[in-house]
Structure 1
């Protein structure tokens, strides 16, 4: 089980590295960051999630927890959809809100069906990962905190996307 936690943490660090490179690429092409004031809370939430997961797992002694194959299958499915989200957005995938009127909104892949698929995936992960380790408190607390943060993040992102759309339409009419 500790191997799985390690893999998830490494995966998140790799994703942060990808996001940093994509941020640099977008900003070099006129990308502008929005929603900076709440971004730190996502970092804090995810760091605390892993700390809580590790502490609760250690207190419960997960060495005797048997793998729940259904939860593990859900976890694998979320990872496949997560990768689909990242691949679909390509250079535009980021953990921050970065906008530019120079680029069109991506509306293919999972974004063809759902506006914010990655937020849904993260919400599911925040439930499933702790349940795999018998960390029931973590499985309840962090999805709630995630949803609360999304009440700030999604409107901020929607406002930024509307700004891009308005800017693009204004440029097309002139």
Structure 2
């Protein structure tokens, strides 16, 4: 199997993974809405769908059109990062459970999740997205796609994180216990 064909298979597998995410998201969205979930920040969602689809299409198109020489060290190191980003993404999904979806929906009265990767940093799923957005195209030296996605994604995440933080701010916080006062 040539490297270009292998890359095509990899991108197709990531596409299948995205479809699996959408199935989980749709189920979880219904669960949240049945419990009074409130969606915010919908205006950026269509752009996010186009951008993430563009990552996959752009990486493949660039690889097939440019047919770059790919140093094996680049390909393998980026593949490791792609796998790591998928692992982090699914750690986020399993940690949030029914509360995870691709939209910004909070169920009033439920405390924010602060376990799993969320105990380490505030938006771990977006860390996975950033890593994947650079690494996936670079598995086959599609650097134009990596740069364009990274810039567009930075703009999107500025809006997305602001919307998500505002939504999360509406949730109750666990009171901090003071011992030995």
Alignment partner of 1:148 out of 136, 155, 165: 155
2:136 paired with 1:139: no
- Residue of structure 2 in register with 1:112 after alignment: 119
In structure 2, distance between residues paired with 1:160 and 1:45: 23
TM-score of the two chains, using structure 1 as the length reference: 0.89
- Residue of structure 2 in register with 1:25 after alignment: 31
What secondary structure, in the 3-state scheme, does the structure 1 residue paired with 2:169 have? helix
Alignment partner of 1:57 out of 63, 70, 79: 63
Query: 2:109–2:172: 8 Å Cα contact kept in structure 1?
Result: no
- Residue of structure 2 in register with 1:172 after alignment: none
What secondary structure, in the 3-state scheme, does the structure 2 residue paired with 1:165 have? coil
Gaps of 5+ in 1: 170-174
Which structure has greater helix proportion?
1
Alignment partner of 1:85 out of 79, 92, 101: 92
2:126 paired with 1:124: no
Shift of 1:40: 1.0
Task: Give per-residue Cα distances to partners, 1:63-95, cap 9 Å, x unaligned.
Answer: x74652222112211111111111101111111
Q: What pairs with 1:1-80 in structure 2 (closer than 5 Å)?
A: 1=6, 2-61=8-67, 65=70, 67=72, 68-80=75-87
In structure 1, distance between residues paired with 2:70 and 2:79: 13
Greater shift in the superposed pair: 123-132 or 40-49: 40-49
- Residue of structure 1 in register with 2:178 after alignment: none
What secondary structure, in the 3-state scheme, does the structure 2 residue paired with 1:102 have? coil
In structure 1, distance between residues paired with 2:128 and 2:109: 28
Tell me how many residue pairs correspond in the alignment.
Answer: 167
Query: 1:42–1:149: 8 Å Cα contact kept in structure 2?
Result: yes
Task: Give per-residue Cα distances to partners, 1:108-157, cap 9 Å, x unaligned.
Answer: 00000110000011011000000001111001110111111111111111
